[in-house]
Amino acid sequence: MLKLPTWSSIEQHAKTAKDFQLVKLFEDDPARAETFRLHCAGLHLDFSKNLISEQTQKLFCALGEEAKILDSAQAMVTGELVNASESRAALHTLLRTPHGEQPKQLDSNASQVSDALKQMKSISGRLRDGDWRGHRDNKITDIVHIGIGGSYLGPSMVDEALTTEALPADTSNNIACHYVANVDGHHIHQTLASLNPDTTVIIVVSKSFTTMETMLNGKTAKKWLEDAMPASALQHHLIAITSNISAAESYGALAENILPMWDWVGGRYSVWSAVGLPIAIRYGFDKFNELLEGARQMDKHFLESDLSENMPFVLAWLGIWYQQFFSVTTHAVIPYDHGLRNFSEHLQQLDMESNGKRVTAMGEQVACDTAPVVWGGEGSNGQHAYHQLLHQGTRQVTVDFILPMQPRHPLTEHHDQLVASCLSQSQALMVGRSRQQMPNLEPKLAAQKEMPGNRPSNTIVVDKMSPYSLGALIALYEHKVFCQAMLWQINPFDQWGVELGKELGDNIFDAIKGDAIAGDAIELDGSTESLLRHYLALRAKT
């Protein structure tokens, strides 16, 4: 990015932009809110409360052209090996492309996607209709979805986000979905304790089918089934979603109950695949299709819109602008929607596992900050907690507010208050409160009450939260992360940084299993060794 010709012009421009005052920018241009606004797939991005001018946008669009962002996007969606370090394609967009509309060279991949969708439709339909029976011929009432990272965050977040989706009048086919990720035994233990094995199906989701947490939780869940039924009955209670078919069969799932994952779809982009099966089970396959359709519309917008009107690209360059020139290192995503209360967890994996990297795809040091620390939580709860820091803290934090316009409940006054809360927060960040506005206060107190203002934010207005708009929203952030990666010239589709911890974890686990730091067979630093010895000593007593 820093080597692209327009970058030096952006640096020059930033010197004047540092003096931008948001309130003044609005005074000078009454049409500003219209200028910096985009629409797509039921989402409206208001990015007018940013420290930018039309010149800023023009320069970043030129930078995006130089970086050939849209050419790179084409390379991604047409199946080039954009994940070069693993020699893989990144074809999550194909998962939401209607069969027949794919590029010719992806015919075989598209057929696999289509077959997987049929399998999802059939399994989710049978479970919902009560045709899938437990070993005692009971209807299935509960699903336990076991997975971690992308095999967990996407489906659990979407499920939670749609909780308030109107369910069919006949709710007799509702199935409760429980999600277990953590290897902390409390989670699986508590989840299973409340369920009846005769009416429960376990879904083990792991692309590799080797991930420690998922394998152990899967083993524990299988043991729970085995304790309640003969081995021959397990097949009625197990589904696996993986690219490692033989391991899933050894685990005990019938071939027809194993759904595919592919090495050409990254875990954090996999909610659109069979990984999203619980969504189809809980809400019906049509709703799952609506989710895909929303994402599809965002894909089309991203691939076909000019960079100046390209929502993902706009979010991408704004992030880079603040990191580079305003020392912003953390980005908060604050949805004013209870269903999206864990949206930022999904974004953390998407953004930080994709772009939390320090070298380019060519192995060179990146000469600037890459992925921000992404965090957030639901509004208005945060207003009574961390918003203090957003308004008066020493650190600059950029914020995306997400605001659905129509509620999915009948309590109008609640929604009016929610909307007022959200709008007032971005307004307060922008306008602040000066000491001059508090002339009667003694200076010491006035200093503490002063709010600097001029703090930027985006507001993403959603007409109404639905599977369609949620699909568009998730895809918006996927493409934002992709654009930033292209500007930083890093590979967003690998995650080598998580490997070392896994290897060291295996070593330490072996030492624990051997109940000793066997002949000092593993090399440990003083701190880790002393912590481990402490654990072993306690473990020996229990």
CB of 405 to ligand F6P, least distance (A): 33
Length of the chain: 542
Told to judge if 24 belongs to the known catalytic residues of this protein, a careful annotator would answer no
Strands laid side by side in the 457-464 sheet: 37-40, 43-46, 457-464, 397-406, 330-335, 373-376
Residues 148, 225, 265, 474: which binds ligand F6P (CB under 6 A)?
A: 148
C-alpha distance across the termini of the chain, in Å? 57
CB of 501 to ligand F6P, least distance (A): 9
Told to judge if 27 belongs to the known catalytic residues of this protein, a careful annotator would answer no
CB of 486 to ligand F6P, least distance (A): 20
Q: How many CB atoms lie within 10 A of CB 343?
A: 27
Asked whether position 345 contacts ligand F6P by CB under 6 A, the answer is no
Residues 102, 257, 297, 495: which binds ligand F6P (CB under 6 A)?
A: 495
Largest CA distance in the chain: 81
CB of 206 to ligand F6P, least distance (A): 3
Q: Choose the stretch contacting ligand F6P; rule: CB under 6 A; options: 27-35, 103-111, 143-151, 400-408.
A: 143-151
How far apart are alpha carbons 56 and 326 in whole angstroms? 14
Asked whether position 208 contacts ligand F6P by CB under 6 A, the answer is yes
Asked whether position 90 contacts ligand F6P by CB under 6 A, the answer is no
Residues with Cβ < 8 Å from 72, sequence gap 6 or more?
A: 82, 482, 486
Of the two residues 214 and 398, which places its CB atom closer to ligand F6P in the complex? 214
CB of 210 to ligand F6P, least distance (A): 7
CB of 251 to ligand F6P, least distance (A): 13
Asked whether position 480 contacts ligand F6P by CB under 6 A, the answer is no
Residue 39, SS3 per DSSP: strand
Q: Which residues in 255-284 contact ligand F6P (CB under 6 A)?
A: 267-268
Residue 200, SS3 per DSSP: strand
Per the CB < 8 A criterion, the answer to whether 532 and 510 are in contact is no
How far apart are alpha carbons 290 and 288 in whole angstroms? 5
Q: How many CB atoms lie within 10 A of CB 84?
A: 13
Of the two residues 204 and 483, which places its CB atom closer to ligand F6P in the complex? 204
Asked whether position 57 contacts ligand F6P by CB under 6 A, the answer is no
Of the two residues 214 and 257, which places its CB atom closer to ligand F6P in the complex? 214
Q: Choose the stretch contacting ligand F6P; rule: CB under 6 A; options: 39-47, 144-152, 436-444, 527-535.
A: 144-152
The helix or strand, by DSSP H or E, that contains position 258, with its residue range, turns out to be strand 258-260
**Pairing between β-strand 238-242 and β-strand 397-406 as defined by DSSP bridges:** unpaired
Residue 334 — φ and ψ, nearest 5°? -125, 95
Per the CB < 8 A criterion, the answer to whether 127 and 140 are in contact is yes
Asked whether position 211 contacts ligand F6P by CB under 6 A, the answer is yes
Owner of token pair 């930027």 = 456
How far apart are alpha carbons 505 and 213 in whole angstroms? 11
Of the two residues 214 and 310, which places its CB atom closer to ligand F6P in the complex? 214
Owner of token pair 């977040």 = 157
Owner of token pair 């229990």 = 542
CB of 219 to ligand F6P, least distance (A): 14
Report the candidate in 186, 170, 166, 187 with the shortest Cα–Cα distance to residue 178. 187
Asked whether position 83 contacts ligand F6P by CB under 6 A, the answer is no
Q: Which residues in 397-436 contact ligand F6P (CB under 6 A)?
A: none
Size of the site for ligand F6P (CB under 6 A): 14
Of the two residues 274 and 292, which places its CB atom closer to ligand F6P in the complex? 274
Residues 50, 214, 323, 398: which binds ligand F6P (CB under 6 A)?
A: 214
CB of 212 to ligand F6P, least distance (A): 9
Of the two residues 328 and 352, which places its CB atom closer to ligand F6P in the complex? 352
Asked whether position 6 contacts ligand F6P by CB under 6 A, the answer is no
Told to judge if 13 belongs to the known catalytic residues of this protein, a careful annotator would answer no
Q: Choose the stretch contacting ligand F6P; rule: CB under 6 A; options: 1-9, 80-88, 123-131, 207-215.
A: 207-215
Q: How many CB atoms lie within 10 A of CB 174?
A: 14
DSSP states of 110-161: HHHHHHHHHHHHHHHHHHHHT-SB-TTSPBP-EEEEE--GGGTHHHHHHHHH
**Out of 160, 165, 290, 353, which one is annotated catalytic?**
353
Residue type, 240: A
Asked whether position 498 contacts ligand F6P by CB under 6 A, the answer is yes
Report the candidate in 60, 36, 52 with the shortest Cα–Cα distance to residue 483. 60
CB of 244 to ligand F6P, least distance (A): 8
Asked whether position 97 contacts ligand F6P by CB under 6 A, the answer is no
Of the two residues 220 and 381, which places its CB atom closer to ligand F6P in the complex? 220
Of the two residues 213 and 378, which places its CB atom closer to ligand F6P in the complex? 213
Distances (CA, A) of 314 to 168, 302, 471, 481: 38, 11, 19, 11
Of the two residues 143 and 240, which places its CB atom closer to ligand F6P in the complex? 240
Residues 79, 150, 284, 456: which binds ligand F6P (CB under 6 A)?
A: 150
Of the two residues 150 and 284, which places its CB atom closer to ligand F6P in the complex? 150
Task: Enter the tokens of residue 66.
Answer: 């130089």
How far apart are alpha carbons 521 and 513 in whole angstroms? 13
Asked whether position 151 contacts ligand F6P by CB under 6 A, the answer is yes
How far apart are alpha carbons 56 and 25 in whole angstroms? 13
| Contact residues for ligand F6P, defined by CB under 6 A | 148-151, 206-208, 211, 214, 267-268, 353, 495, 498
**Catalytic residue numbers?**
353, 384, 502
